[in-house]
Amino acid sequence: MNPHRESYYKCVMKKFEVYKNIRKKALIFGLPISLFALMMIAIVASLLVVIFSFSFGTIMAVFILNGTLYIALTRFAHNPNLLQFSRVFPKIISNKKSSNLDYE
């Protein structure tokens, strides 16, 4: 066997790594697909505003609004509990009747 042939195959053969994060969500620009779609809708709407507006202040406000929206959506994507205002589960779980009516 030629000793150079073994090193040749090492250079030609491609090594593929196993993708271990297959169960994680797909992200585009750090956003899940639904939030990315919301961001794209906001960008298209802001492009319409930029095209039909004639004041520099409005154009700058649209760009600042888009940047703020992107920052808010990325923070929400990394911490989804930010919009949860109520408890998920009740404080007490009981089999006691909740009404004062007597059915017997």
The answer to whether position 90 is within a domain reads no
The answer to whether position 42 is within a domain reads yes
Name residue 28's beta-bridge partners.
31
Q: Give the domain extent around 33.
A: 25-80
> For the chain, what is the domain count?
1
pLDDT in tens, the chain (104 residues): 555 555 555 556 677 776 566 566 777 777 888 889 999 999 999 999 989 888 899 989 999 999 999 999 998 888 877 766 676 676 777 777 667 766 66
H or E stretch at 76: helix 56-78
The answer to whether position 56 is within a domain reads yes
CA distance 17 to 20: 9
The answer to whether position 103 is within a domain reads no
The answer to whether position 44 is within a domain reads yes
Structure tokens at 37: 């779609």
The answer to whether position 10 is within a domain reads no
The answer to whether position 20 is within a domain reads no
The answer to whether position 67 is within a domain reads yes
